[in-house]
């Protein structure tokens, strides 16, 4: 087991380049299975969720080659099975998007229910409803989905919810279905746009990219191509937060700030601003860090919303920023009932947070964080939020289960060290062995 050991109190200074969008690349990789020609993907982050996706692709017959540190070529010429290995599927939530890719390529898939973050129940009903409308038979037994279709036919589909992964799954099936598919109430996040633009580059016909209505004309086959993964705006938001809570100033290069308009509005309510220079973001020092009250002095509410609303995956980061801002603010994540269950760890560090119910917390700031001997990262975003708190804290903090953070952040500790953070990764087994050796030394 590995831990982050963090000595807080050092303002960040310097520059950082975010990795490619985790939520884009974990869908763009499966999409490569829709063609038997080579596809090259650029700005690919080497995070554990990506490595698992590559393992799945190789297990079903695709050839995957790293061309350089950030470029991957996928050649799915010979896919020999539509069965996704259970052990790999349960390592990541994104594994379920292989169902759309394999249905589009083989018209058959057998896939276990996915794993991933435990932040609440995330149903798959929207996927199944859409698959069935496109002509698929879907069965679920003993934790495994079996889906097959003799013929994929376009349909007019209204999604019960604007689900990101359901939108992506249905797009991958629809682009190779006969006739026209209209998808309404779809998700339109930047990662959905990245996937759609990639498919268009491969010969798909998709109209309405970036909106909540997609019109797709099915094609007989897709060809190879090349696509670039956009900057991970969750990572960008995390480094903005890290600079703010440590009182630092940083430049975030190649940040794709056009995707951060709502994030800027929400952070501004917490007293945080930044500047944009070309494709870079500059976080200045001496932030105001005062929460803007609603009209009449009412406590403001920050609510997670579908795009272009405030991303739910940035709620944990914004919450830590709020602990350093003067005033009170309510956070409401109606999507995931376990999002805020990590806040007890922040309370141990000195935060004033009231858990109102599984979906809402009241944060009062500012507080001075103090280091704690051991806290555990429950999921990707909560894990990075705890890193931010530790960077701001007085003293040492140890964070366990950092494999969760590795799923979404590429070389997080190295990037932070390059900006002046005192953070290191330690292997607990090695530390214990070293301690026992010293203890047994008679000298």
Q: Any idea which residues carry the catalytic annotation?
A: 117
Contact by Cβ (8 Å): 176, 223: no
Contacts of 323 by beta carbon, 8 Å cutoff, 6+ apart: 245, 346, 351, 352, 353, 363, 365, 366, 367, 369, 389
Contact by Cβ (8 Å): 108, 82: yes
Q: What is the DSSP string of 384-438?
A: HHHHHHHHHSBSEEEEE-THHHHTT-TTHHHHHHHTT-EEEEEEHHHHHHHHHHH
Contacts of 435 by beta carbon, 8 Å cutoff, 6+ apart: none
Sign of CA dihedral 71, 76, 78, 79: positive
> Sheet containing 63-68: which strands, arranged edge to edge?
63-68, 71-75, 39-42, 225-228
- The CA-atom distances, in angstroms, between 170 and each of 86, 116, 261, 405 are 22, 21, 28, 29
Residue 102 to residue 216: CA distance in whole angstroms = 18
- The CA-atom distances, in angstroms, between 288 and each of 184, 273, 310, 321, 331 are 41, 8, 21, 12, 20
- The CA-atom distances, in angstroms, between 410 and each of 46, 53, 69, 427 are 6, 15, 12, 18
Residue 39 to residue 35: CA distance in whole angstroms = 8
Contact by Cβ (8 Å): 395, 8: yes
Pairing assessment for the beta strands 249-252 and 275-277 based on DSSP bridges: unpaired
The region, left, alpha or beta by phi > 0 then psi within -120 to 50, assigned to residue 129 is alpha
């Amino acid at each position: 087991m590995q831990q982050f050991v963090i000595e807080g109190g050092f303002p960040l200074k310097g520059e950082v380049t975010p990795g490619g969008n985790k939520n884009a690349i974990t869908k763009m990789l499966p999409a490569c299975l829709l063609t038997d020609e080579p596809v090259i993907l650029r700005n690919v982050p080497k995070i554990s969720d990506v490595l698992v996706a590559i393992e799945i692709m190789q297990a079903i017959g695709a050839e995957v080659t790293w061309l350089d540190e950030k470029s991957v070529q996928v050649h799915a010429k010979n896919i020999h099975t539509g069965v996704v290995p259970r052990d790999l599927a349960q390592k990541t939530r994104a594994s379920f998007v292989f169902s759309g890719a394999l249905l589009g390529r083989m018209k058959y898939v057998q896939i276990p229910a996915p794993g991933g973050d435990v932040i609440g129940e995330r149903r798959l009903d929207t996927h199944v409803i859409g698959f069935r409308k496109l002509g698929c038979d879907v069965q679920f037994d003993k934790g495994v989905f079996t889906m097959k279709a003799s013929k994929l036919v376009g349909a007019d589909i209204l999604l019960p919810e604007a689900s990101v992964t359901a939108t992506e799954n249905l797009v991958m099936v629809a682009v190779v279905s006969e006739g026209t598919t209209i998808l309404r109430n779809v998700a339109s996040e930047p990662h959905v746009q990245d996937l759609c633009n990639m498919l268009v580059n491969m010969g798909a016909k998709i109209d309405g990219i970036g909106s909540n209505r997609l019109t797709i004309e099915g094609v007989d086959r897709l060809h190879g191509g090349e696509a670039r993964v956009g900057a991970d705006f969750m990572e960008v938001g995390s480094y903005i937060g890290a600079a703010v809570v440590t009182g630092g100033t940083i430049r975030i290069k190649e940040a794709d700030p056009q995707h951060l308009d709502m994030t800027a509005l929400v952070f501004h309510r917490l007293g945080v601003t930044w500047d944009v220079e070309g494709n870079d973001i500059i976080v200045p020092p001496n932030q105001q860090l005062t929460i803007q009250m609603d009209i009449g002095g009412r406590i403001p509410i920050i609510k997670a919303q579908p795009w272009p609303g405030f991303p739910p995956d940035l709620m944990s980061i914004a919450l830590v920023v709020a602990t350093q801002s003067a005033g009170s603010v309510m956070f409401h994540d109606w999507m995931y009932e376990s999002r805020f269950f990590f806040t007890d760890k922040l309370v141990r560090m000195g935060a004033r947070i009231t858990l109102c119910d599984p979906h809402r917390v009241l944060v009062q700031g500012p507080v001075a964080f103090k280091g704690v001997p051991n806290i555990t990262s429950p999921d990707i975003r909560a894990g990075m939020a705890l890193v931010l708190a530790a960077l701001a804290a007085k003293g040492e903090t140890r964070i366990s289960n950092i494999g969760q953070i590795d799923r979404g952040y590429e070389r997080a500790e190295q990037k932070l060290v390059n900006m002046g953070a005192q953070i290191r990764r330690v292997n607990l087994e090695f530390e214990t062995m070293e301690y026992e050796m010293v203890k047994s030394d008679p000298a």
